[in-house]
Each structure stands twice: as structure tokens, then as C-alpha cells.
Amino acid sequence: MMMDSWSVAGRTFNSRLIVGTGKYKDFEQNAAALEASGAQIVTVAVRRVNVSDPNAPMLTDYIDPKKITYLPNTAGCFTGDEAIRTLRLAREAGGWDLVKLEVLGEAKTLYPDMRETLKATEVLAKEGFLPMVYCADDPIAAKQLEDAGAVAIMPLGAPIGSGLGLQNKVMIRLIVEGAKVPVLVDAGVGTASDASVAMELGCDGVLMNTAIAEAKDPVMMAGAMKLAVQSGRAAYLAGRMGRRQYADPSSPLAGLI
């Protein structure tokens, strides 16, 4: 496979797969799945330290932030203010300005609240953050986010944690065609073919957590996702054949006996 890197906010990565660090059985399994995935970026959450058990194992003991880019997220935030507060703390905890913004609208669908998301994007960009933004599969909202300072657009493929695969291929393609910043499908991937579909649509990358963490063998699935992202990307670059309504034989008709 040729070297095929992508860049977000001036940082270049070779892997187009971003993986989460939630829902794993333990940190060892998480680290092994990360290794198998080849991902160079992981999403992490910001939560209270357990002050009654400071010696509990920590994520940073298993995934080295000097080798893997930590992308702090705002999962669990239902207002822009909560999300901004979380990312200010994240910047202090890790010193990173590259962050993932998600502002959720409701618990049932975990669908993004785009009004709050857009407002928070503007504030974060003004404060010097580089927000990669989880958003609806809405090409207009995507442009608005870009104008507000989003460094990457991350539309959902299906509800977070659902594993239903891309439900909205037309809109994802339209977002990709209209964007000047990277587009990554974030959420909804269930298995390897879903990741390939996202890449075949021209996305710059895919972000997933549950599809790997809840597989029967997460480490093997992480390896499958790595290949799926690579093959989907290669197919996009190769340019697929046109679609026909009817059959077209592959063997010549001339010379038939």
C-alpha cells in the first residue's frame, strides 16, 4: 500500500482510522486493539479523578500520550457551555488544542444539537482550540461549522454505538464534496464493510469505538478495521466503475463457436 497520509490543522497522520478508548474489558485489551488498528489518534474523555483511590490504573499508563495523539472529546455534554468547560480542562490536563467537540441533543438518539454545536465551535475557535466537530449529516450545517472554525467535519453514519452502518451515504458524499476541511465519519460503523463504505465515499477517515470494543474479539476486529479503511481508501482513489442497469459480459462476444 502506498503512503497515503492526511492532515488536520497542519498535523499529518498516516492512519485514517481513529479509535475510541471506551467500553473495553480492560486497559490491556484496549492497548492491544489500538496496536492492531494502527491508529495514531485515540479519543479520550475527561472525568473526575477518583480521589479515594489515586492508585487505580490510568489510561495514560497503558496508552502513551507521547506516542499516540489524545483527542479529548466532550461525550456526555448536552450544552455548549458544558462542552467548552470540559475542553478547557482537557487543554490544561494535556496541553492539546486539537479536540473533538460533540454536543448531544438527547440521550435516546445521542443525535447532535447543531445549534449548541455551532455556538460552541465559534467560542472554541476564538479561544485557539482546533475543534473537530461531530455533527448531523447535513451539508449546510457542515459548511456553517467550517465557517465557524471547525478543523474537521465529523458527521454521524448512524446513531452512536448502534453499529447500524452508514444510513446516509448521499448526504455524507455531499458533505465530502463541499468541504475544504477533512471529513470523517464518526459513529455508526458496525463492521469492516461499513468502514470501507465511508472511505469509498471519499471521507478522509473514520472514527469508531463500539464496533471494535464490543466485537467478540476486539483485537482481531481492530485489525479488520485497519484493512477495511485502507481498502476503502484505495478503492476511492482507484475510482470505481460506473453502474449499469443491466448485464454486460466480461468475455468477448466475437469468436463465439
Partner 1 sequence: MTASNLISIQLNGENRSFDGPLSLLMLVEKLGLNPAKVAIERNREIVPRSILADVQCADGDNLEIVHFVGGG
Q: Which residues bind partner 1 (CB under 8 A)?
A: 20-24, 27, 30, 43-49, 51, 54-55, 58-60, 65, 70, 72-73, 75, 85, 88-94, 160-161, 209-210
Count of CB atoms situated within 10 Å of the CB of 32: 16
Note if 226 is an active site residue: no
Closest by CA to 226, choosing from 33, 31, 26, is: 33
Residue 187 C-beta: closest distance to partner 1, Å: 8
Smallest gap from residue 198 Cβ to partner 1 (A)? 16
- The catalytic position among 23, 25, 67, 100 is 100
Q: Cβ closer to partner 1: 63 or 150?
A: 63
- How far is residue 72's CA from residue 91's CA, in Å, rounded to a whole number? 8
CB of 24 to partner 1, least distance (A): 7
Contact 81, 89 (CB under 8 A): no
Query: Which CB, 76 or 178, lies closer to partner 1?
Result: 76
* Alpha carbon separation from 70 to 12, 39, 42 (Å, rounded): 14, 11, 5
Query: Rounded to the nearest whole angstrom, what is the least distance from the CB of residue 65 to partner 1 in the complex?
Result: 8
Instruction: Please report, for residues 18, 21, 53, 70, 219, the alpha-carbon distance to residue 58 in angstroms, rounded to integers and kept in the order given.
Output: 20, 12, 11, 14, 20
3-state secondary structure of 253: coil
Nearer to partner 1, 14 or 50 (CB): 50
Nearest CB to partner 1, comparing residues 16 and 91: 91
Identity at 245, one-letter amino acid code: Q
Question: Quick one: 197 exposed, middle or buried, by C-beta within 10 A (0-12, 13-18, 19+)?
Answer: buried
Catalytic positions, written as ranges: 100
